[in-house]
Structure formats: structure tokens, C-alpha cells
């Protein structure tokens, strides 16, 4: 018989696990990792010339495998940017460091998504083969966090690739973004990584809450739905 056990700590852990997985996935898919230096409207991905171009410059953005640039053929619409992958295959990603980043982040995000999916069922199933699901998920989240850290450490090493130089100027090099600034996706990935380790630690608290004496007493009383603060 399934005993649905809901505690504040287990619910908070479940919600955080889902939020972290979605945050990392959205950051990975975004083109807003680097915000390029100002360009003129009709210049595509080339720097604005000193004597011409639009008086309203824009800032192209560059991600691990995607980018957003101004559409030179659209002059009078608000949504006049082109966003999408610049790399049609894995081998076309601009830097070997970014390829490694993509692998590490993809593995970490995959683990986080699996944990987020399993966390939904922890209200009904708390153990498998006498192993606590909370402890197993916490361990997996810790492993995912390590993959994310490796990816984020390697990512700035790719700022010296030609693609980054085209967006950030000739002063761009490994761990130096040149004329670029860091976009929200990079900070979201860092924040998600920190939350991943917080979730890993908090999983132990969720395990303690769902296996407390109060829960066991209510199970022995025959209750199928147990809600505790």
C-alpha cells in the first residue's frame, strides 16, 4: 500500500530540485552567455564602422552553441533579431573548451532532470531495494554539481576562440572576455550549480523528516495520507 508522506522539508527539496533542473536547462540552451560589443544595425556580426551605421547600436549575444544577431533585412519591427544555433553539428561548436563544456553541462543537466522526475514520486515511495531515494538522489545531485562546475570552469577558457573574438574584440582571450560582458545565462548556470549542492545537502533533511518517529506512528495507525510541517 502506498503511504503518501508530505513534509515541508521534502516538498521544499522536491520544488528546488525541479527549479534547479529547469534553470540549468534554460541557461544551457540560451544564447545570452556573452553580450557582445555594440554593433551598427546593418553590420551583421561585424563591428560597427567609425563613420557609418545606425545611431542605435545593438549588442549581439553568444552562447555555447547559439547566438542572437540583428536581422539586417528588418528595419521597422521590434522583434528584429535572429536567434538560433550557429553550430549545425557538435564539431562546429566554436571552441574545444566549449565542446567540453557542452558535454559536462549536458551530463549534469541530464542527471538533474532525472532526479527532478524521481523527486515527484518520493511522496509515495521513499526507498528502493532498502536504499533511501532521498540519499541516492542527493548523491546524484552532488555528482551533477561536479559536472556543472567542470563545465563552468572550462567555458571561459574558450573566450580566445575566433568566434568569441568576432563578438568581443581582439582583446578577448582565455578567461578575459574583452569588450563583452557576461549575460544572464552564465549567472543562472552559476546560481543553479550552487543550488544543486544545496539540494544535495537538503536531501538528507528530507530523509530525516520522512522517516521520523511521528511519521512511523501515523503509518502504524493506518493513515495513507500523512502531512507534517
Question: What are the pLDDT digits (tens) for 155-187?
Answer: 999 999 999 999 998 999 999 999 999 999 999
Across the chain, mean pLDDT equals 82
CA distance 10 to 134: 9
Q: Which fold has domain 4-31+95-227?
A: Butyryl-CoA Dehydrogenase, subunit A; domain 3 (1.20.140)
What distance in Å separates the CA atoms of residue 55 and residue 52, rounded to the nearest whole number? 8
Give backbone dihedrals phi and psi of 147, rounded to 5 degrees, phi first.
Answer: -65, -40
pTM of the full structure = 0.81
- Smallest CA-to-CA distance from 205 within 109, 110, 132 is with 132
Burial state string for 156-185 with b = 16 or more CB within 10 A and e = fewer than 16: bbbbbbebbbbbbeeebbeeebbbbeebeb
Amino acid at each position: 500500500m502506498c503511504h503518501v508522506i508530505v513534509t515541508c522539508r521534502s516538498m521544499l527539496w522536491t520544488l528546488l530540485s525541479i527549479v534547479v533542473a529547469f534553470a540549468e536547462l534554460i541557461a544551457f540552451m540560451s544564447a545570452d552567455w556573452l553580450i557582445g560589443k555594440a554593433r551598427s544595425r546593418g553590420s551583421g556580426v561585424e563591428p560597427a564602422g567609425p563613420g557609418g551605421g545606425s545611431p542605435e547600436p545593438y549588442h549581439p549575444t553568444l552562447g555555447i552553441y547559439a547566438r542572437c544577431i540583428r536581422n539586417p533585412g528588418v528595419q521597422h519591427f521590434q522583434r528584429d533579431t535572429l536567434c538560433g544555433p550557429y553550430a549545425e553539428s557538435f564539431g562546429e561548436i566554436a571552441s574545444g573548451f566549449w565542446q567540453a563544456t557542452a558535454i559536462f553541462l549536458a551530463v549534469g543537466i541530464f542527471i538533474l532532470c532525472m532526479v527532478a522526475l524521481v523527486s515527484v514520486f518520493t511522496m509515495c515511495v521513499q526507498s528502493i531495494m532498502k536504499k533511501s531515494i532521498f540519499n541516492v538522489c542527493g548523491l546524484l545531485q552532488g555528482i551533477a554539481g561536479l559536472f556543472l562546475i567542470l563545465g563552468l570552469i572550462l567555458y571561459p577558457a574558450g573566450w580566445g576562440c575566433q568566434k568569441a573574438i568576432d563578438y568581443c574584440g581582439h582583446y578577448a582571450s582565455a578567461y578575459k572576455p574583452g569588450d563583452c560582458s557576461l549575460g544572464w545565462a552564465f549567472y543562472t548556470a552559476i546560481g543553479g550549480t550552487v543550488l544543486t549542492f544545496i539540494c544535495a545537502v537538503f536531501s538528507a533533511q528530507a530523509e530525516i523528516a520522512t522517516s521520523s518517529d511521528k511519521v512511523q506512528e501515523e503509518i502504524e495507525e493506518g493513515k495513507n495520507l500523512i502531512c507534517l510541517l
